[in-house]
Structure 1
Amino acid sequence: MQRSNPAPAGAGPLIVVMGPTASGKSQLALDLARARDGVVINADAMQVYADLRIVTARPSEADEAAAPHRLYGVRPAEAVWSAADWAAAARAEVAAAHRAGRLPLITGGTGLYIRALVEGLSDLPAIPQDLRDEVRALGLTGGVPALKAALAPLDPKAAQRLADPQRLARALEVVRATGRSLADWQRAHPPAGGHAGPVFTIALMPDAGTRDRAIAGRFVKMLEMGAADEVAAFLARGLDPQAVPLMKAVGVPEIGAWLAGEVSRDEMLERGRIATRQYAKRQMTWIRNQAHINLGAHEQYSECLASRIFLEIDRFLLTLGH
């Protein structure tokens, strides 16, 4: 397809490809990029880090060579990125794609990242440094249980809903600093800074049986590709599991326990499958709650589905004069 004319900064079209783990969204984004002169921009919170290419299922070097890929493996594990940090970097990559006359394709499984780019984020209140230090120390010493226990009497809904230590810490900081829950604060301060141009969102939503079959062989394949050596080298760095999100990536705790002799290979594989299924289920819950899905496919990506998706995207772009 001929390259489109450059769009004004922030006003050009944006394609979002979302779906749970093992739905084929990365392959769809790659096929779109190759066929429609696109740039694949990562929206997976684990794949932004340079470590654990196999475990986090980052695109292969061959895939990255087949079409431009951005924001994959760009941060060391110790340099934690917030959703706001990622959104700023993604906006820059989207603008660069538009300047080059290319089609930006956002894909990944981190819903908060996608929302931050498309809709924007609410400004958070200023948090005193001593409070930040106090909450961080609580997280480092007591982990998720301690953060939940501290948050529960102040914001019980958030304490029950959240499981990620960074998000729990943020909710605790806000309620202690302002006396208001994070949800109340966000309602009073609507999101700003979202994408100004048209957005076309594709959601791959295979049923549970299809997801489970795709996930079943995932850990075995990862091990065949060298995941155990990858995890062993990563754990040998002695990073803080409470401060480094990548330490909790699906596959790291499970393979780590096997390497330490705490579980058998079969138990490790089963734990990995269960953790991956649970993660995919959470992703599906988030996707189902999104109001602005232009094309929903209740199946895994395949060549049969590709022609339908390509046709709808071409129609979308034609209405914009691309």
Structure 2
Amino acid sequence: MSKLPVIFLMGPTAAGKTALAIELCEHLKTEIISVDSALIYKGMDIGTAKPDAQEQQVAPHHLIDFLDPSASYSVADFRRDAIAKIDEFHRQGKVPVLVGGTMMYFKSLIDGLSPLPEADVNIRLELEQQAKQHGWPHLHKELAKVDSQAAEKISENDSQRINRALEVYRITGQSMTELQKQKQPPLPYTFHQFAIAPDDRSELHARIEQRFKIMIEQGFEKEVSTLYIRKDLHPNMPSIRCVGYRQMWDYLAGEIDHDEMVFRGIAATRQLAKRQLTWLRSWPELTWLTTDDEENLHRVVSSLS
């Protein structure tokens, strides 16, 4: 087991994770690894609250801004890349600080992943053709016959998850539920796990609303317009389904007006924060931080001694 620890800094969106991580970089020999499924995309800066050039100069963030929005990036891809970065920084005598709110990414490092197969383009296209002919609810019924547990958890209109579950079955002959019971061995790291969130939910909601409106002022509409005019992007892609982007996309498509876009964008961000907090409340071995920045810094630094 590595003598150097790995710090997890988790929390809901707009909770102040990035600011604390940058402070840690100024006080410790650390490197920041982003744990965020939206920050990976190029050209998606304002809506993801990506660290700006000044913040990056003080504390470079890794695993951000490296993928075109048309590309896919799985939990397994993140796990592989994060482990490579952790090992690299440990060899340099640095403490990796993993910061973000994509809880499945964090979970993949602690619990490992089941041996699910890589995507098969031909099978996916075949399933999409069947969906066009019969509809996704029909394919959901097919899924229920081969993997009833997965079908119970997946909406009959959740095209992406139905496609993936059926794809796994057609490739392996085993259900996703069966394969997910098989896990990799634990990683040889000591994890120090922290979560940051305001005690008062209304304070978090106010922060989310304020941040979304600031994004609008910073040119979020122009940013999404650049994506909207591309022929290779559409609303069902993971990049465009990111919170805020889907709502702005609908506005640009003329489906909703500006006020409704802002309302839906803030509501979707609050729902994301709620899901993140639900994850964290059941998270084992987690230390909750306060709203006091100085105390938070002290608690994280002192945990390493």
Q: TM-score, normalised by structure 2?
A: 0.87
- Residue in structure 1 matched with residue 29 of structure 2 by the alignment: 37
1:92 is aligned to 84
**Residues 31/127 of structure 1: CA separation in 2 closer, same or farther (3 Å cut):** closer
1:101 corresponding residue in structure 2 = 93
CA contact (8 A) 1:241 1:248 kept: no
C-alpha displacement of 1:70: 0.5
State the Cα RMSD in Å: 2.8
Q: Secondary structure at the match of 2:72?
A: coil
- Runs of 5+ unmatched residues, structure 2: none
Identify the range of structure 1 (132-141 vs 226-235) with the bigger mean alpha-carbon deviation.
Answer: 132-141
Q: In structure 1, what is the equivalent of residue 220 of structure 2?
A: 227
What whole-Å deviation, never above 9, does each CA across 1:71-105 have from its counterpart, x for those lacking one? 11011112211111111111111112112222101
**Structure 1 unaligned runs (5+)?**
1-7
- Distance in 1 (CA, whole Å) between partners of 2:187 and 2:115 is 16
Q: Which residue of structure 1 lines up, in the alignment, with residue 143 of structure 2?
A: 151
Tell me whether 1:317 sits opposite 2:297 in the alignment.
Answer: no
1:258 and 1:243 mapped to 2: Cα distance?
Answer: 16
How many Å separate the matches in 2 of 1:184 and 1:40?
Answer: 35
> 1:19: which partner in 2?
11
- Displacement of 1:185: 2.4
User: Partner of 1:241 in structure 2?
Assistant: 234
**What is the CA distance between 1:154 and its match in structure 2?**
3.9
Residue type at the aligned position of 2:151: A
Identity of aligned residues (%): 34
Distance 2:254 2:125 in 1: 36
- Secondary structure of the residue that 1:80 maps to in structure 2? coil
Q: Which residue of 2 aligns with 1:183?
A: 177
Tell me if 1:275 matches 2:268: yes
Task: Deviation per CA, 1:166-220: give whole Å up to 9, x if none.
Answer: 4443322234455654233222x1233x431100010123343222111122221
Whole-angstrom CA distance in 2 between matches of 1:174 and 1:21: 32
How many residues are matched? Answer: 302
1:113 correspondence with 2:105: yes
Amino acid paired to 1:257: D
Deviations 1:259-311 (A, max 9, x none): 33332221111111111111111111111221131x113x5xx4x2x333333
Question: 1:156–1:277: structure 2 CA closer, same or farther, 3 Å change rule?
Answer: farther
Report the Cα distance in structure 1 between the residues aligned to 2:203 and 2:249, rounded to whole angstroms.
28
Mapping 1:51-62, distance limit 5 Å: 51-62=43-54
Q: Does 1:70 align with 2:62?
A: yes
